[in-house]
Amino acid sequence: MPVSIRPLTDGLLGGEVSGIDCRRPLDAETVAAVEAGMDRHGVLVFPGQDLTDEQQIAFSRHFGGLERYGTPAHVRKRADERLGPGISDLSNLDKQGRPLGGDDRVWLFKLGDQLWHSDSSFRPVPAKYSLLSARAIPAHGGNTEFADMRAAYDALDEAMKSLVEPLICAHSLMYSRGSLGFTDYTEEELEAFRPVRQRLVRTHPVTGRKSLFLSSHAGAIEGWSIPQARLFLRDLIEHATQREFVYAHVWRLHDLVIWDNRTTMHRARPFDAAAVRDMRRTTLAGDAPTIEQVAAVA
């Protein structure tokens, strides 16, 4: 069956893919079609993909190497991990498969996923694609929204483009969580969540298009006061997440959604904390720090 992609919005953001069984190995032509779809749409939805963790990992690896960092991106203790290596737990569940509960520290930290962000922008080399698989979904709520950072960049006026072009931000999980009042960390977490530097404007390595590299993990701009930086970033995120730049994905069981973290932001939407929402993510490594990327094309 030939691969086809149906646009999901009036703009370029989002496409729904048919003609691919993600459980089977892909030929080079199919991989190229998906990559071209990602470069065009930023977000691709693959409905009806009932995957095991192993199948999800194998499918993901067609598009690059998995991201592997030695430090966690969350506050769950290793012994309490529900899933094996190579796959991140984006669920609201404990090791026994029960909802974590509204005052669990792991859950309070996870609430930060409901802020607009780009995955691993708090890592020295931020992520390329994320692939999120819906294994169980709540009856209501729990959508994921995506915003097109290329369109958001293009819509800036020339003065604003010049202002943002050279800016370097500091990103940390402590900034996103801190904005929700989550501020208590162990020594180990403080070390793991140390801020990293990222360009605010980045250039896509394939399409050459510029985009805003925004994320709620960004909490400072080099050379700016903190309040001025936070206000500026808050305004930019408001600009970049206007409805015309956003696609809201309403999950169906066994959807697999892939997004390019280099050109989009996303956020989870609220749902009943007592419901089961089992989402599992594979993440592909980016290829260079954004600081170097921009320097190379400048």
The residues binding ligand OGA (CB under 6 A) are: 90, 113, 119, 130, 132, 144, 266, 268, 279, 281
Q: Is 260 in the site for Mn ion (CB under 5 A)?
A: no
Q: Where are the beta strands (DSSP E) in the chain?
A: 4-7, 15-18, 43-46, 88-89, 129-136, 144-148, 168-171, 196-199, 201-203, 210-212, 218-221, 246-249, 256-260, 264-268, 278-283
Which of 43, 164 has the CB closer to ligand OGA? Answer: 43
CB atoms within 10 A of CB 131: 23
CB nearer to ligand OGA: pick between 129 and 232 = 129
Using the rule CB under 5 A, is 67 a contact of Mn ion? no
CB of 90 to ligand OGA, least distance (A): 4
- Stretch touching Mn ion by CB under 5 A, among 72-80, 91-99, 114-122, 224-232: 114-122
Binding segment (CB under 5 A) for Mn ion, from list 10-18, 57-65, 119-127, 225-233 = 119-127
User: CA-to-CA distance for 91 and 69, rounded, in angstroms?
Assistant: 20
DSSP run (H or E) holding 92: none
15 vs 142, beta carbon nearer ligand OGA: 142
Q: Compare residues 43 and 294 and give the one whose CB is closer to ligand OGA.
A: 43
* Distance separating the N- and C-terminal Cα atoms of the chain: 43
82 C-beta neighbours (distance < 10 Å), count? 15
Q: Shortest distance, CB of residue 159 to ligand OGA, whole angstroms? A: 32
Say whether residue 119 binds Mn ion (CB under 5 A): yes
* Cα–Cα distance measured from residue 59 to residue 64, given in angstroms and rounded to the nearest whole number: 10
In whole angstroms, the minimum distance from the beta carbon of 286 to ligand OGA comes to 14
- Cβ closer to Mn ion: 33 or 271? 271
Return d(Cα 46, Cα 133) in angstroms, integer. Answer: 9
Burial 180-207 (b: 16+ CB within 10 A, else e): eebeebeeebeebbebbebbbbbbbeee
Complex with Mn ion: residue 132 or 156, whichever CB lies closer = 132
Q: How far is the CB of 113 from ligand OGA (least distance, A)?
A: 4
What is the nearest approach in angstroms of ligand OGA to the Cβ of residue 297? Answer: 27
| Residues near Mn ion (CB under 5 A) | 119
